[in-house]
Amino acid sequence: MKKIAIIDYGAGNLHSVRKAFAYLGAEAEILEEAPSVVNFDSLVLPGVGNFGPGMEELEKRGFHPFLRKWLNEDRPFLGICLGMQFLFERSEECPGEKGLGFLEGEIRRFNDPSLRVPQIGWNAVRPKEKNNPLFRDIEEGSYFYFVHSYYCVPKNASVIGSTTAYGLEYCSSLWRGNAFAVQFHPEKSQEKGLVMLRNFLNI
């Protein structure tokens, strides 16, 4: 059985994520602070809330160096929603707060006045590459559930795992080695979301 660790920084929807992995037969542990001993296979960083306070809480609980080490060692990682945005250098949501800097780029707010912001609801996701293991057995254009006002703008387009259209075509998931991140919520995306989480378990 795969063992998953889910980072708790006080603002994530971690219980629904934990329930989804449990449904798939994975043991899920909640980490309230950076562990001194690693006894799990994969790491998940869920997230809702504000970029600035979220980064401050990650630092307070000792997750900054732990996350950077995990990511640099190319261990299986899944960021969800704000957990995806944390991977970048900075965000318009909180200009003075630095992100983890695992990826070059920034987080921008949807600024089209014709759009409803935040984007809430189902939207189509289009994988950039057919061999993306996170999207195995998921048809192109499948719908996933989104709740967000900001989107990721990677400096290097090669890390874009998929795109979604909402006023513009934006990066809706990332893929770099064994690190994956999604702007949508697979744990709230019914059957397709469970397929995606199962794919992550198999990485």
Instruction: List the catalytic residues.
Output: 81, 185, 187
The encoded tokens of residue 59 equal 């630092």
Exposed / middle / buried, residue 47 (Cβ in 10 Å: 0-12, 13-18, 19+): buried
CA nearest 134: which of 172, 85, 83? 172
Q: How far is CA 176 from the centre of its chain?
A: 12
- SS3 string of 25-74? CCEEEEECCCCCCCCCCEEEECCCCCHHHHHHHHHHCCHHHHHHHHHHCC
d(CA 106, CA 146): 19
Strand extents, DSSP E, the chain: 3-7, 27-31, 42-45, 77-80, 90-91, 105-109, 119-127, 142-148, 150-154, 160-165, 169-176, 179-182
Report yes or no: 108 and 151 within 8 Å, Cβ to Cβ.
yes
